[in-house]
């Protein structure tokens, strides 16, 4: 069953547009407050202007247990710069005023819980946030946030992992269908971080998820290169790129960081066109 | 849903303690507990829950565990009447001697139980976190005995202050991996162990050492540690012909305390007091007194009391004792606090150090600095206790590991 919010969600529209243009949707990641407040914000705006389909804005947390070294480091620096959930919402508000790209906020649960769930969803909506990814909130614990987000017209994006049983995939897909947005398929068993290659069983995993949902599927964790994006385009609807992007930005001289980030995104976009990559 | 502002409720809406009712099917103790973990771990946690339910229902498992507790751990541990401490305090004080258990602390109770469970599940690789090193030593011990691979994550700061235990773990065949992230203490070691578990979930058993983490860990750790309280209760009835008036235990994550408290929690006449690490003083902000000074939050898979800033970031803690240096606490303690069934207080570093010395001099027992916090609280109760009051302190571990820390604190160069 399709509800009103699902059909009108800017996230749904972004995936539909990418599909119509025969592209896999690209979802670059920015850590709020990293490498510093101004550069993080400039990167998000530049990604929007460069044609990112969605932008994921990471909120730093003191204990990012689903993250590998790159995001842990960025998180720590962002916290040292004083970034908070409230600060990330302010940043999202400024970005959405400058770019039409839908924003998805990625945060661990405790900052939301501490902020107050309903209060947070209202503020997120006002800041132009279209979706939420909460990596330590499985479907079983999601009811309070799901309810509040739905009332505000915000999609709660659930993760499904290669270890998820078919029974769990079915449950998560059912819950996710009520909130719209997309399903975040965790490509590998592990933490976030750039990898050289995608796992060999990725296609089989995505097929297992696809069997239970018609929502768009985005693949993240370990996605680092245009050929990864191209491979994901053959089996799913979107690719999330975080650590590899952070690494590229990190390696650039301070005055080149935004340009480097955009160049990295454009390189990934070269793998995003389905027609260019679908020949055997 | 529990809103932080609503959970610090006035006493009028205090929920009533229901013994034996929790955890429920969702892994909740009242409002607390649950499973706040990445989806990647959910299947493993469900597998663990089934395996533990299966083992719990199997008399053969209980019988192997009981036999190993008796012949390997050295249970039952004594309940000792501390005569000179009693005279000092002005009440009848007994020590539950978990320091006499194999490896020198209560941690072996849980490590043995979970180790047997892991072997039963066919998992050959065990990971663990450790703060003071006692859980790491206990896990390394059980892995050696059962022939399992053992990797222990330990904060770099804790490795520095607990070098003796680090060497013990290595002797026992474990690999000790230093954790340099964050505050470089127990909470960061748990983060890193969880990352390892997510990565190696198919082959690896995560042997959590405290009554924290996602369901079923808090229940499972409580169950394996409850041997402490069951023995103590039976020993009180046997040796004294009555139940104690007051039972005191230190609380970091809370495993020794929940193991001691749980079997007494259904006895309304027995007062339960948990003693947290007051560090440099609760008012200084440099402490680890989660239930005294924290508010509800989510860390390491469970909703429980948490030391956090106004933005929901977990704050760094301080304690002279590595084993109590943790910003969270087991969810069942949050429930015991919320219902008023147990009360929680803090003892600061100075009081703990004084209690450490007092127990050495009065009783010839060198306690772990963690356990010294519980002793400190009882010393502070002098005058408030009646001479015929029976007080039991859970002496959760011995203090050999803390000799360097204590020497430092006393300005002595070894």
* pLDDT interval class at B6 (50, 70, 90): very low
Between CA A208 and CA B366 the distance in angstroms is 58
Selection from B146, B255, B131 nearest residue B192 by Cα:
B131
Torsion of CA B318, A31, B191, B329, to 10 degrees: 50
As a 3-state breakdown, chain B gives helix, strand, coil percent values, each rounded to 5, of: 50, 20, 30
* pLDDT interval class at B359 (50, 70, 90): very high
Between CA B43 and CA A17 the distance in angstroms is 35
Between CA A276 and CA A35 the distance in angstroms is 34
- The answer to the question of residue A192 being in a domain is yes
pLDDT at A4 over 50: no
Mean per-residue pLDDT of chain A: 94
* Helices (H) then strands (E): counts for chain B: 16, 14
**Subunit contact B34:A191, Cβ cutoff 8 A:** no
- CB contacts of B306 in chain A (<8 Å) are 110
For the whole model, what pTM was predicted?
0.95
Give me the residue from B36, B187, B198 closest to A137, CB to CB: B36
Between CA A204 and CA A207 the distance in angstroms is 5
* pLDDT interval class at B161 (50, 70, 90): confident
**Subunit contact B35:A141, Cβ cutoff 8 A:** yes
**Subunit contact B301:A136, Cβ cutoff 8 A:** yes
B1 shares contact with chain A (CB less than 8 Å)? yes
In this structure, what CATH number is given to the domain that contains residue A231?
A: 3.20.20.70
Number of structural domains chain A divides into: 1
If contacts are CB pairs under 8 Å, which of residues 278-337 in chain B contact chain A? 296-301, 303, 306, 308, 310-315
B396 prior amide bond cis, ω within 30? no
Residue of chain A whose alpha carbon sits nearest to that of B37: A136
- Whether B253 and B211 have beta carbons less than 8 Å apart is answered as yes
Q: What is the mean pLDDT of residues B48-77?
A: 98
- The answer to the question of residue A8 being in a domain is no
B202 shares contact with chain A (CB less than 8 Å)? yes
Give me the residue from B1, B38, B314 closest to A136, CB to CB: B38
- Whether B186 and B153 have beta carbons less than 8 Å apart is answered as no
**Subunit contact B39:A159, Cβ cutoff 8 A:** yes
* pLDDT interval class at A275 (50, 70, 90): confident
Kindly tell me the burial class for residue A147, based on how many C-beta atoms sit within 10 Å of its own C-beta (0-12, 13-18, 19 or more): middle
Q: Which helix (H) or strand (E) is B379 found in, with range?
A: helix B369-380
For residue range B192-232, what is the model confidence (pLDDT) as tens digits?
Answer: 999 999 999 999 999 999 999 999 999 999 999 999 999 99
| A103: containing domain | 13-269
Residue of chain A whose alpha carbon sits nearest to that of B298: A110
Residue B299 Cα to chain centre, angstroms: 16
Between CA B88 and CA B110 the distance in angstroms is 34
- The answer to the question of residue A1 being in a domain is no
CB atoms within 10 A of CB B286: 16
- Whether B305 and B314 have beta carbons less than 8 Å apart is answered as no
pLDDT of res. A1: 40
Let me know if B92 is a catalytic residue.
no
- CB contacts of B308 in chain A (<8 Å) are 110, 114
For residue range B18-58, what is the model confidence (pLDDT) as tens digits?
Answer: 999 999 999 999 999 999 999 999 999 999 999 999 999 99
B354 prior amide bond cis, ω within 30? no
- CA of B293 vs chain A CAs: smallest distance (Å): 15
- The answer to the question of residue A161 being in a domain is yes
For residue range A48-61, what is the model confidence (pLDDT) as tens digits?
Answer: 999 999 999 999 99
- The answer to the question of residue A91 being in a domain is yes
* pLDDT interval class at A6 (50, 70, 90): very low
For residue range A209-230, what is the model confidence (pLDDT) as tens digits?
Answer: 999 999 999 999 999 999 999 9
* Percent of chain A surpassing pLDDT 90: 93
pLDDT of res. A8: 65
Q: What is the mean pLDDT of residues B76-93?
A: 98
Mean per-residue pLDDT of chain B: 95
- CA of A13 vs chain B CAs: smallest distance (Å): 26
- The answer to the question of residue A274 being in a domain is no
pLDDT of res. B180: 93
- The answer to the question of residue A52 being in a domain is yes
pLDDT of res. B46: 96
B271 strand-pairing partners: B246
Residue of chain A whose alpha carbon sits nearest to that of B28: A141
Let me know if A67 is a catalytic residue.
yes
Write b or e for each residue in B154-189: b if 16 or more Cβ atoms lie within 10 A of its Cβ, otherwise e: bbebbbebbeebbebbeebebebebbebbbbbbbbb
DSSP code, position B77: P
- Whether A105 and A57 have beta carbons less than 8 Å apart is answered as yes
- CA of B126 vs chain A CAs: smallest distance (Å): 17
Interface of A with B (CB under 8 A): 61-66, 68, 72, 76, 79, 84-86, 108-117, 135-138, 140-141, 143-144, 158-165, 168, 172, 186, 189-191
Find which of A32, A163, A193 to mutate to test the B interface (most B CBs within 10 Å of its CB): A163
pLDDT of res. A278: 44
- The answer to the question of residue A137 being in a domain is yes
Q: What is the mean pLDDT of residues B325-332?
A: 97
Residue of chain A whose alpha carbon sits nearest to that of B181: A72
**Subunit contact A62:B313, Cβ cutoff 8 A:** yes
pLDDT of res. B13: 74
Residue of chain B whose alpha carbon sits nearest to that of A189: B199
Q: Decide which of B342 and B10 is more confident.
A: B342
- Whether B238 and B42 have beta carbons less than 8 Å apart is answered as no
Q: What is the mean pLDDT of residues B158-178?
A: 94
- Whether A85 and B282 have beta carbons less than 8 Å apart is answered as no
Between CA A154 and CA B184 the distance in angstroms is 37
Residue of chain B whose alpha carbon sits nearest to that of A144: B1
Q: Decide which of B7 and A157 is more confident.
A: A157
DSSP code, position B105: B
- CA of B24 vs chain A CAs: smallest distance (Å): 14
For residue range A230-271, what is the model confidence (pLDDT) as tens digits?
Answer: 999 999 999 999 999 999 999 999 999 999 999 999 999 999
**Subunit contact B300:A65, Cβ cutoff 8 A:** yes
Residue labelled with tokens 């590229």: A248
**What residues contact B247, with CB distance under 8 A and at least 6 apart?**
B232, B260, B261, B264, B270, B271, B272, B273, B391, B392, B394
Give me the residue from A72, A86, A163 closest to B44, CB to CB: A163
- CA of B7 vs chain A CAs: smallest distance (Å): 12
pLDDT of res. B2: 38
pLDDT of res. B246: 98
């Amino acid at each position: 069953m399709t509800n009103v919010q699902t059909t009108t969600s800017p996230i749904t529209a972004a995936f539909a547009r990418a599909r119509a243009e025969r592209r896999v949707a690209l979802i670059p990641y920015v850590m709020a407050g990293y490498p510093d407040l101004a550069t993080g914000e400039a990167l998000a705006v530049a990604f929007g202007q460069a044609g990112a389909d969605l932008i994921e804005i990471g909120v730093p947390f003191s204990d990012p247990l689903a993250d590998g070294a790159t995001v842990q480091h960025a998180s720590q620096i962002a916290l040292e710069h004083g970034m908070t959930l409230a600060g990330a919402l302010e940043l999202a508000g400024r970005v959405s005023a400058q770019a039409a790209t839908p924003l998805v906020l990625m945060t661990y649960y405790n900052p939301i819980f501490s902020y107050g769930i309903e209060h947070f969803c209202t503020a997120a909506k006002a800041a132009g946030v279209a979706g939420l990814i909460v990596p330590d909130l499985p479907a079983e614990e999601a009811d309070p946030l799901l309810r509040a987000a739905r009332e505000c017209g915000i999609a709660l994006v659930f993760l499904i992992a290669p270890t998820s049983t078919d029974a769990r995939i079915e449950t998560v897909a059912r819950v996710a269908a009520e909130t719209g947005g997309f399903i975040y398929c965790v490509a590998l068993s592990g933490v976030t971080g750039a990898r050289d290659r995608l796992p060999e069983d990725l296609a089989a995993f995505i097929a297992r998820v696809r069997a239970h949902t018609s929502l768009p599927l985005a693949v993240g964790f370990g996605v680092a290169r245009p050929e990864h994006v191209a491979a994901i385009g053959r089996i799913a609807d979107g690719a999330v790129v975080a650590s590899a992007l952070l690494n590229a930005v990190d390696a650039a001289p301070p005055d080149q960081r935004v340009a480097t980030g955009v160049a990295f995104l454009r390189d990934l976009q070269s793998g995003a066109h389905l027609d260019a990559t679908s020949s055997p | 849903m529990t809103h932080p502002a609503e959970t610090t409720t006035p006493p009028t809406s205090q929920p009533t303690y229901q013994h034996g009712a929790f955890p429920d099917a969702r892994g909740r103790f009242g409002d607390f507990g649950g499973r706040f973990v990445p989806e990647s771990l959910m299947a493993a946690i469900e597998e663990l829950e089934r395996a533990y339910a299966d083992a719990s229902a199997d008399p053969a498992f209980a019988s192997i565990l009981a036999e190993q507790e008796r012949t390997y751990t050295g249970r039952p541990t004594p309940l000792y009447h501390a005569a000179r401490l009693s005279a000092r305090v002005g009440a009848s004080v007994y020590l539950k001697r978990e320091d006499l258990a194999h490896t020198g602390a209560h941690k072996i109770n849980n490590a043995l139980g979970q180790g047997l469970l892991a072997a039963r599940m066919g998992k050959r690789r065990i990971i663990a976190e450790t703060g003071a090193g006692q859980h790491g030593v206990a896990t390394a011990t059980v892995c050696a005995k059962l022939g399992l691979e053992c990797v222990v994550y330990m904060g770099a700061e804790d490795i520095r202050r607990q070098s003796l235990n680090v060497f013990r773990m290595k002797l026992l065949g474990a690999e000790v991996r230093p954790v340099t992230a964050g505050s470089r203490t127990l909470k960061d070691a748990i983060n890193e162990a969880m990352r390892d578990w997510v990565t190696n979930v198919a082959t690896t058993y995560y042997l959590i050492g405290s009554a924290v983490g996602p369901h079923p860990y808090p229940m499972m750790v409580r169950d394996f540690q409850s041997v402490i309280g069951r023995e103590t209760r039976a020993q009180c009835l046997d040796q004294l012909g009555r139940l104690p008036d007051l039972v005191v235990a230190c609380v970091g994550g809370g495993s020794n305390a929940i193991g001691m408290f749980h079997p007494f929690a259904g006895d309304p006449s027995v007062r339960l007091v948990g003693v947290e690490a007051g560090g440099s003083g609760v008012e200084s902000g440099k402490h680890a007194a989660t239930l005294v000074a924290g508010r509800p939050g989510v860390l390491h898979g469970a909703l429980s009391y948490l030391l956090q800033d106004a933005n929901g970031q977990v704050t760094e803690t301080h304690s002279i004792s590595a084993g109590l240096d943790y910003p969270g606490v087991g969810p069942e303690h949050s429930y015991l606090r919320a219902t008023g069934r147990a009360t929680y207080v803090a003892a600061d570093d100075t009081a703990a150090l004084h209690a450490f010395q007092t127990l050495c001099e009065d009783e010839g027992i060198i306690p772990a600095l963690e356990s010294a916090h519980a002793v400190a609280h009882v010393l502070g109760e002098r005058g408030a206790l009646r001479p015929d009051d029976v007080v039991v302190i859970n002496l959760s571990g011995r203090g050999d590991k803390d000799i360097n820390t204590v020497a430092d604190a006393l300005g002595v160069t070894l």
